[in-house]
Amino acid sequence: MPATHHVERQPSRVHVTEVGPRDGLQNESVILSTAEKLELIHALVAAGVNAFEITSFVSPKAVPALADAVDLVTALRGLDGVHLSALVPNHRGAERALEAGIDAVVMFVSASETHNAKNVNRSVEDSLAGFEDAARVLEGSGVELRGAVATSFGCPFEGDIEVASVGRIARHFSELGVRHLSLGDTTGMATPPLVSERIRHLREVAPPIVPTLHFHNTRGIGLANVMQGLALGVDRYESSIGGLGGCPFAPGASGNIASEDLVYLLDEMSIDTGIDLAGMIGAAQIATRLMGRDLPGQVSKAGPRLALSDCSAVPTARG
């Protein structure tokens, strides 16, 4: 155990942030209109989702699917009890997010130099230095400053990422006053041992940080990594409706863990989320219709564990 002697116990309540409108849509060939996004978001709110990573204030040329960032945030402002956050790469993005009326700005950087260069065309050091300018933009605004570290569990270009690299970035964020930091599993390279290593290291080197885990299901063990996070007492997760998602700057990146699958798992473990599973299944079906293709989520297809079938509709074996 680290020097902080953090007591690890499974949480009784988990905070789920829906990242479908941002991470879920940024890599899709189908670009949804603002009205279509709002249809999906309102269905999620009706299901009890109250926290969204709603968009990213990046160049529309880089991510065309998120070109309506200002319009989307403007349309959603004032939703009672709903918290909206947005990714920003630099101080100009922070200014645009602030003007739009966002609740929280998420500054992001990769733990991998190569991925950071592909993602934002900057070195890690340059990104970190730029965050200080972004933090100054937000001073006195009441807008929360959060952080995100992409490729926290591995990089498709560099391979393994040293845990110390993630810890160094976490310390920098902590010094800027950030308390909520998301560890991004950008291409599904996380494994339960890596989850343990990262969480315990963060608790040792940056104890004020409250970690959020953001898993992709590229290699089929996204929910296994959630289980490991729960065993470590982590109570904040990010997921995407229907399993939408992927990174346009990382080859092989597939969707996030599906929000409805995550809620199902937590329900079956008697862990409270405040989210209605039936409503999430309905939202996943809306996402499927809007995208015009089958989505990776499983529970929206199979239904809950006790969703029973009419036996008279099933043929009986003969012989």
Instruction: List phi, psi (to 5°) of 14.
Output: -125, 140
List active site positions: 247
Strands, DSSP E only, in the chain? 15-18, 51-56, 83-88, 104-110, 144-150, 180-184, 210-214, 236-239
Per-residue CA distances from 51 to 3, 30, 228, 239, 309 (Å)? 33, 24, 23, 11, 34
Query: Rounded distance, CA 276 to CA 48, Å?
Result: 6
Query: Rounded distance, CA 162 to CA 29, Å?
Result: 33
Half-sphere exposure of 26 (CA within 13 A, CB side): 29
DSSP symbols for 33-57: PHHHHHHHHHHHHHTT--EEEEEE-
Per-residue CA distances from 6 to 73, 85, 142, 202 (Å)? 38, 28, 30, 11
